């Protein structure tokens, strides 16, 4: 699954935690109850942890880092919108 498919609705994106349950409680990215993800959490859910990536996954990670200048801080910027996230994921096709 691509990140743009995981984060295909505003209600599936979050800030301030890698992942959240449906009732907004922070949880681990791979928790089966996780329903909302920040950009980094979505990356980990779709492609794995950055330290365990294949060559293809690493290329995607590097592209995301290059575009954001820091994935978590970019995602958690108070002025960031879901539209920004969606455009980025479409542009990178991840």
Q: Are 93 and 64 spatial neighbours (Cβ–Cβ below 8 Å)?
A: no
The percentage of residues in the chain with a pLDDT greater than 70, rounded to a whole number, is: 99
Domain residue spans of the chain: 3-92
pLDDT mean over 15-36: 98
Residue 3 has pLDDT above 80, yes or no: yes
Which pLDDT score, from 0 to 100, does residue 86 have?
Answer: 97
| Whole-Å CA distances, 6 to 25, 42, 87 | 18, 7, 14
């Amino acid at each position: 699954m691509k990140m743009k498919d995981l984060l295909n609705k505003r209600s599936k994106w979050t800030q301030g935690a890698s992942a959240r349950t449906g009732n907004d409680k922070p949880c681990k990215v791979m928790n089966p109850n996780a329903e909302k993800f920040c950009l980094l959490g979505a990356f980990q859910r779709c492609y794995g942890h950055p330290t365990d990536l294949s060559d293809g996954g690493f290329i995607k990670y590097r592209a995301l880092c290059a575009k954001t200048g820091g994935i978590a801080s970019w995602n958690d910027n108070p002025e960031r919108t879901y539209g920004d996230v969606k455009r980025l994921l479409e542009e990178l096709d991840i």
